[in-house]
Amino acid sequence: MTSPEPPFSPLRPRDPRSVGGYRTVGRLGAGGMGAVYAARDASGTLVAVKLVHGDLAADPEFRVRFHREADLVRRVVSPCVPRFLASDTGAEQPWLATEYVAGPTLSQHVREHGPLTGPGLRAFAVGVAEALRAIHAAGIVHRDLKPGNVVLAPDGPKVLDFGIARALDETAITRTGGLFGTPGWVAPELLRGGPPTPAADMFAWGGLVAFAATGRSPYGKGSAETVAVRVLDGRPDLDGVPEDLMPLVTAATGSDPDPRPTVDQVLERLLGRSAPDSQEEATALVTQVLREGWKAPPPPTAVAATRVPPPVRPPVSRRKRLLVGAAAVLSLAAVASAGWMWGSGVGGRGPGPEAVSETVDGTRASEAGNEDGSSNGREIATEVVGDGLLTVYAAEPGELGITQGFDGVGNVLPEDVERAEYAIATVRLNTVYADSVAQRGIKVFGEVEYVADSGEFTLHTDDLVLWEVGDGLDPLPEDPAADGRPAHVADTDEVLATVTPDAPSAEFEVVFPRAPESGLLGYLPAPTAHGEDGDRVRGSYMCYMNWHPLPPVDMADEQYVPCPEEPPA
């Protein structure tokens, strides 16, 4: 009898049924680089296979980068890093296979169950330090260690995502002045233009342990500039870190990289003995700590699958943001070049808040209703809740508490709304060049998942618009549809996908042949997206940058980065 598959998404009609010698059985995710599949080897063991998008596979430079990534993953051996299995970087569509890791990310676990405590927290600190020991021993700096890149597996924490790591002996290939990583987790010396070193990973380790212990990012939330100022000021919020871990966390998050403890020094303190002399000894010691102190976390709930965001914070006014020094500003622009940086705003169709339909007698539809004051319409709203992932909500008028229009950057729904109760669909968006050879135009593609028990949801080409960015245009506008910037829409309005409880998932793609390589990608559901007219509809916009197609930043951490017009020099 075949055991049931773990809770990953089913394969789509166009998904491959095998990659290399692995039989694909589901989808684990997708991003700008490609799709990640759950697959089984010849013995039936579950593995994770990353398959590069066909458009990127045609780019020789990208193939070189992917080959380098596979080589980096192959070098790292640790019980706290997914095991490398195989790769074929010369295939028509290059792929990479690693151990399958089940469990929530640290950010998911903290959001659903709160911070780690006691022996589990200490085991987490040991496990992540052990992963960094193996990474640094292989001559690599991770450079993007954050809560979304650590999975809490049944046997301990696992550090993921070497997609933007760089080997220490390969720094010549890194763009001069380039900065990769996520605001709030990037060390201050990197913000000032310094080279990546293992000390930068130890800075992130300290912040990660603080986050695991308190449930708060040590440098808070807000715009990239605001978070960078806090990092450069060197005043992390460590209130709530246990006394036994506080000295190490404080030293690791120090502004000066030289006094920060090395990973060996951290392990010496945490293990209560000298650093192990061999990889085998390190593995045995860490395994013992994890066996004694680690407790398998509960799996992510259905709510987490839609990446429901944390409670809304007060909107950050762009006019009140602190200014960053010139070097940091240049570095922050480089942060944006590391991938799609998604700003959760509210995008819109038409001229803005006043674009509401009218009834026959001239009464606005949002004001019209039945004799008893009720309305026949719905409220529909979207929020960016994960790596390129939007959740769509629908409710009777007044239940979501939204209005027609824009809030700028921030969560759409009020804090007291139970998001899981109103979620109807998720939409994952990606972009690549429409013509990858000439690097012209933009293809928007992705997947729609229906998560409600009844009804249907429809996605139209007209729901998507690409706005331009550049001189004189606000990089994070409150209303991108109302400030006069050029917009690009599809040539025809067509149904891209319709999903229901019986057919809950569908893929889509649409081409914008004249759109620039960088801009704002806006999404606003049609008023009839959920089967009947909506009185109020709110959307979201994101920043796409096709010169560096990496997965988008995890918006569950609410890190908002403006969209530049051109790649940093």
Residues 6+ apart with CB under 8 A from 27: 8, 9, 10, 11, 12, 15, 35, 36, 37, 38
Question: Could you tell me the pLDDT band of residue 375, with boundaries at 50, 70 and 90?
Answer: very low
Q: Which residue in the block uniquely carries the two structure tokens 């193939």?
A: 63
For residues 476-503, give the mean pLDDT. 87
One DSSP character per residue, 123-180 reads: HHHHHHHHHHHHHHHTTEE-----GGGEEEETTEEEE---TT-EEGGGGGGSPTT---
d(CA 97, CA 28): 13
Cβ count within 10 A of residue 439: 12
Percentage of the chain beyond pLDDT 90 is 34
Among 278-287, 415-424, 531-540, which range has the highest average pLDDT?
Answer: 531-540
Summarised one tens digit per residue, pLDDT across range 397-421 is 888 888 776 666 667 787 778 777 8
pTM: 0.59
Q: Is residue 12 part of a domain?
A: no
Q: pLDDT at residue 459 above 50?
A: yes
- Boundary of a domain, candidates 99, 116, 138: 99
Domain of residue 271, residue span:
106-300
- Nearest Cα neighbor of 515 from 446, 460, 445, 433 is 433
pLDDT band at 354 (very low <50, low <70, confident <90, very high): very low
pLDDT over threshold 50, residue 332: no
Q: What is the pLDDT of residues 103-162, one digit of tens each?
A: 888 988 998 889 999 999 999 999 999 999 999 988 888 888 988 889 999 999 999 875
Distance CA 335, CA 568 (A): 9
Lowest mean pLDDT among 136-140, 264-268, 413-417, 484-488: 413-417
pLDDT at 333: 33
548 or 240: which leads in pLDDT:
240
How many degrees, rounded to 5, is the angle at CA 568 between CA 564 and CA 569?
145
Number of structural domains, the chain? 3
Q: Which pLDDT band, with edges at 50, 70 and 90, does 281 fall under? A: confident
pLDDT digits (tens, 9 = 90+) for 10-46: 787 778 999 999 999 988 876 556 788 999 999 999 9
Q: Is the pLDDT of residue 484 over 90?
A: no
Same domain assignment for residues 94 and 125: no
The mean-pLDDT minimum among 68-77, 186-195, 335-344 falls in: 335-344
- 28/78 same-domain check: yes
5 lies in some domain: no
CA atoms of 274 and 279, how far apart (whole Å): 14
Is 144 annotated as catalytic?
yes
Whether residue 493 is found in the same domain as residue 534: yes
Residue 323 domain-assigned? no
Q: Hey, which residues does 561 pair with through a beta bridge?
A: none
* Residue at token pair 């212990």: 213
> Is 26 contained in some domain?
yes
Judge whether 175 lies within some domain. yes
Instruction: Please identify, among 252, 280, 300, the residue that sits at the C-terminal boundary of a domain.
Output: 300
Do residues 88 and 123 share a domain?
no
Residue 95 shares a structural domain with residue 129: no
The pLDDT assigned to 301 comes to: 53
CATH of the domain at 278: 1.10.510.10
Q: Is the pLDDT of residue 550 over 50?
A: no
321 inside domain: no
Is the domain of 474 the same as that of 356? Answer: yes
Q: Is the pLDDT of residue 565 over 80?
A: no
> Which range scores top for mean pLDDT: 198-207, 225-234, 345-354, 547-556?
198-207
Is 306 contained in some domain?
no
Q: CB neighbours (10 Å) of residue 336?
A: 24
Other CB atoms closer than 10 Å to residue 284's CB: what's the count? 12
**Domain shared by 285 and 336, yes or no:** no
What gap in Å lies between CA 446 and CA 506, rounded to an integer? 9
In a shared domain, residues 144 and 180: yes
d(CA 429, CA 447): 7
pLDDT for the residue numbered 568: 59
Same domain, yes or no, for 58 and 115? Answer: no
Q: Are residues 249 and 396 in the same domain?
A: no
Residue 169: predicted pLDDT: 36
Q: Which residue has the tokens 């109103």?
A: 422
Closest to 267 (Cα-Cα) out of 72, 141, 78, 75? 78
pLDDT at 356 over 50: no
**Band of pLDDT at residue 363, cut at 50, 70 and 90:** very low
The per-residue pLDDT of the chain, averaged, comes to 76
Report pLDDT digits (tens) over 203-254.
999 999 999 999 999 998 765 667 888 899 898 999 999 999 999 999 999 9
CATH of the domain at 22: 3.30.200.20
pLDDT at res. 345: 31
Catalytic residue selected from 144, 387, 535, 557:
144
Greater confidence (173 vs 14) lies with 14
What band does 1 get if pLDDT is binned at 50, 70 and 90? Answer: very low
